[in-house]
Amino acid sequence: MFSKPLFKQSCKANGIMWAIITFAVCFMLICVMVIAGNGDLSRTKVAVENAIIQEELKSQTEKRALNYYELSESGMFYFDGEFKKDFIAVTNTTEYQQIYANQGADAANLYAAGTAYKSATLKLQQFCASIAAEQGYESDSDEAKEITGLIMYVFNPMQEGGGYMFDGFYTALGETAPRYGFQGALTMSDAERKDYVEDYVFTNSSIFLAGNMVSEDNVQKALDQLKEYKITEKEYEEFGYKDYGFVKGLANSVIVNYRANLEYRLENVKDGETVESIKAELVKEFAGSMLATLPAEVSDALQEIGSMDLYGILVGSIFFKIAGLLLPIIYMIMTSNNLIAGQVDSGSMAYVLSTPTKRNAVSATQAIYLVGSLLLMFICTTICSIICISVVNVDTGLNIGKLLLINLGAFVVMFAMSGISFLASSWFNRSKNAMAVGGGLNIFFLVATILGLFGSPIIPYVIRMESLKYFNYVSIISLFDVVSILDGTLTFLWKLAILIAVGTVCYAVAFKKFKEKDLPL
């Protein structure tokens, strides 16, 4: 079943072409992996990904700033209302009347203000808890504590000894500790009080937000959340979110824009609009990310690019599935034709069969040479790819294990395609017919794969041409599922099994056809 002299003859006849093709494929592979690995490809991906992350951080910070502003503003207005009610209630008590009679109005009013202040402060704490509960947070959750902390830090309540509870927080940031003018709730007009509260909250909610965000604990929490995106502490710092002044400025800017537009919109309310709907719309407008303002297709494309393993796609789906198959397909078409049909057409097969070599041995030997030469070719690409992935410095999910599977998959594709060409070579007596059928089919598969690439998921949606995806259904190369290998799933296994079956059946039919057909000897 095997002819050693015939095998040597095939090696001699096709060896130079094999060497040239193998060298060219390996050279291209090295260029692609090394240049892309040490060039701009990974930096482009990182830049896009970082831009997306920065925009989302900015958006979330601005939303948080507006949320802080609204919450603390509602807290201060609540305190004012309760302070007024409690002050009036105290003025109707016996203690107030006695102090008023014995020490005068100033002393009595001071007593009433102090008593109302304590009572309103306790109610404010309960108000904070109610807000957290309304938003669905448990009383001991981090979110509930943050809401309470926000409002109380902005308020900075007076303590029994005369000091203020959170002065240390403000002075540590180089800020002047706030003093809430609670007595103005009794003396100012509603318009004046509204302006005072809004300005007070604007100043101090931004300070709290910035101070809270740049604290070590919160920076570490942010880094933990960004770990899956491989954002380092240095990169986070370069984004500016460890800089107190940067975060405070960002908060101030969005609140100023929000307040100005809110005032205008409330003065010009349209039919069907409510205060809450106007606020929600403005929050979306002023705290929306870059991606939210782009058309959906562009936004999705940017996110796709940011999440894609561009290096893995370039090496696996573009090189090994298309560019890296082109030269091996040319070699395989020419060699399979030379091994059977070419010799029949030229008459040299008559000399071969005039020796004791049987037809089964001829077809088996030629098939072993063809498959063996392709296997050796991909062993060479495997070695080159492993060396390259070991020396390049690139952020990719492509590793040695996946490279081995990709090279194996590429060989299995060539095994199936070589079976088709070998069958055509064994079927036809004329070299041109074998080339037309076997070579034509395999070239069609390659071209269909190239066209199908532009309709496949590895192309960002914004430039993907969905209509071209149907070409993937008419090419057996599509059964080489590189995406499955890169994603770490096992889908590729049954597809490779189909390719192995195609190649095996083609070779088996070729053996039978060559054995039984009449040759023009």
Q: How far is residue 173's CA from residue 207's CA, in Å, rounded to a whole number?
A: 8
Q: Are residues 75 and 144 in the same domain?
A: yes
Give the pLDDT of residue 296. Answer: 46
For range 46-53, the mean pLDDT: 68
Judged against a pLDDT cut of 80, whether residue 316 lies above it is answered with yes
Q: How far is residue 416's CA from residue 519's CA, in Å, rounded to a whole number?
A: 26
Helix (H, G, I), strand (E, B) or coil at 435: helix
Q: Which has the closest alpha carbon to 475: 519, 416, 423, 432?
A: 416
Which residues share a beta bridge with 164? 158
Identify the residue with better confidence: 398 or 282.
398
Establish if 67 belongs to a structural domain.
yes
What's the structural domain count of the chain?
2
Q: How far is residue 120's CA from residue 152's CA, in Å, rounded to a whole number?
A: 12
State the chain's mean pLDDT as an integer. Answer: 84
Which residue in this structure is represented by tokens 């199936």?
Answer: 416
For range 436-450, the mean pLDDT: 92
Establish if 340 belongs to a structural domain.
yes
Q: Are residues 23 and 49 in the same domain?
A: no
For range 315-339, the mean pLDDT: 90
- Type of residue found at 451: L
For range 442-465, the mean pLDDT: 79
Give the pLDDT of residue 333. Answer: 93
Binned at pLDDT 50, 70 and 90, residue 461 comes out as: low
Report pLDDT digits (tens) over 394-412.
Answer: 777 788 999 999 999 999 9
- Type of residue found at 101: A
Report pLDDT digits (tens) over 354-373.
Answer: 777 788 888 888 999 999 99
Least confident window among 144-158, 252-266, 338-352:
338-352
Q: What tokens were used for 20? A: 């040239």
Identify the residue with better confidence: 229 or 16.
16
SS (H, E, C) 254-274: HHHHHHHHHHHHHHCCCCCCC
Identify the residue with better confidence: 499 or 237.
499
Give the pLDDT of residue 147. Answer: 87
Q: Are residues 208 and 342 in the same domain?
A: no
- Type of residue found at 309: D
Give the pLDDT of residue 294. Answer: 40
Instruction: Give the predicted TM-score (pTM) of the model.
Output: 0.60
Helix (H, G, I), strand (E, B) or coil at 164: strand
Q: Are residues 332 and 385 in the same domain?
A: yes
Judged against a pLDDT cut of 80, whether residue 476 lies above it is answered with yes
For range 79-106, the mean pLDDT: 90
Q: How far is residue 220's CA from residue 64's CA, in Å, rounded to a whole number?
A: 18
Q: How far is residue 161's CA from residue 478's CA, in Å, rounded to a whole number?
A: 78
Taking every pair of Cα atoms in the chain, the longest distance, rounded to a whole number of angstroms, is 138
Give the pLDDT of residue 464. Answer: 64
Judged against a pLDDT cut of 70, whether residue 43 lies above it is answered with no
For range 5-12, the mean pLDDT: 85
For range 258-275, the mean pLDDT: 79
Q: Are residues 351 and 406 in the same domain?
A: yes
Judged against a pLDDT cut of 90, whether residue 314 lies above it is answered with no
Establish if 312 belongs to a structural domain.
no
Give the pLDDT of residue 40. Answer: 58
Judged against a pLDDT cut of 70, whether residue 297 lies above it is answered with no
Q: Are residues 227 and 334 in the same domain?
A: no
Q: Are residues 56 and 15 in the same domain?
A: no
Structural domain for 223, as ranges: 45-306
Binned at pLDDT 50, 70 and 90, residue 469 comes out as: confident
Q: Are residues 373 and 508 in the same domain?
A: yes
In 316-469, where does DSSP find H-type helix?
324-339, 341-346, 348-354, 359-391, 400-427, 431-434, 440-453
Phi, psi of 84 (to 5 degrees): -60, -50
Q: Are residues 293 and 384 in the same domain?
A: no
Boundary residue ending a domain (306, 334, 367): 306
Q: How far is residue 320's CA from residue 409's CA, in Å, rounded to a whole number?
A: 9
Which residues share a beta bridge with 158? 164
Residue 125 burial (CB count, 10 A): 15
Q: How far is residue 143's CA from residue 139's CA, in Å, rounded to a whole number?
A: 9
Boundary residue ending a domain (278, 306, 334): 306
Establish if 192 belongs to a structural domain.
yes
Boundary residue ending a domain (272, 306, 340): 306
Q: Are residues 32 and 49 in the same domain?
A: no
Judged against a pLDDT cut of 80, whether residue 380 lies above it is answered with yes
For range 66-79, the mean pLDDT: 90
- Type of residue found at 39: G
As a dihedral over the C-alpha atoms of residue 307, residue 395, residue 220, residue 207, rounded to 10 degrees, the angle is -60
Establish if 316 belongs to a structural domain.
no
For range 87-116, the mean pLDDT: 90
**Residue 287 burial (10 A CB sphere; 0-12, 13-18, 19+):** buried
Identify the residue with better confidence: 509 or 286.
509
Identify the residue with better confidence: 81 or 521.
81
Establish if 270 belongs to a structural domain.
yes
DSSP one-letter string for 322-342: IIHHHHHHHHHHHHHHHHTHH
Judged against a pLDDT cut of 60, whether residue 42 lies above it is answered with no
Measured at the CA of 70, the angle between CA 201 and CA 185, to 5 degrees, comes to 50
Establish if 315 belongs to a structural domain.
no
Q: How far is residue 150's CA from residue 128's CA, in Å, rounded to a whole number?
A: 9
Q: Are residues 404 and 453 in the same domain?
A: yes
Judged against a pLDDT cut of 90, whether residue 137 lies above it is answered with no
As a dihedral over the C-alpha atoms of residue 149, residue 153, residue 159, residue 164, rounded to 10 degrees, the angle is 150
Establish if 319 belongs to a structural domain.
no
Q: Are residues 294 and 374 in the same domain?
A: no
Taking 3-state DSSP, the helix, strand and coil percentages for the chain, each rounded to the nearest 5, stand at 80, 0, 20
Judged against a pLDDT cut of 80, whether residue 300 lies above it is answered with no
Report pLDDT digits (tens) over 154-198.
Answer: 999 988 877 889 999 999 999 999 999 988 888 899 889 999 999
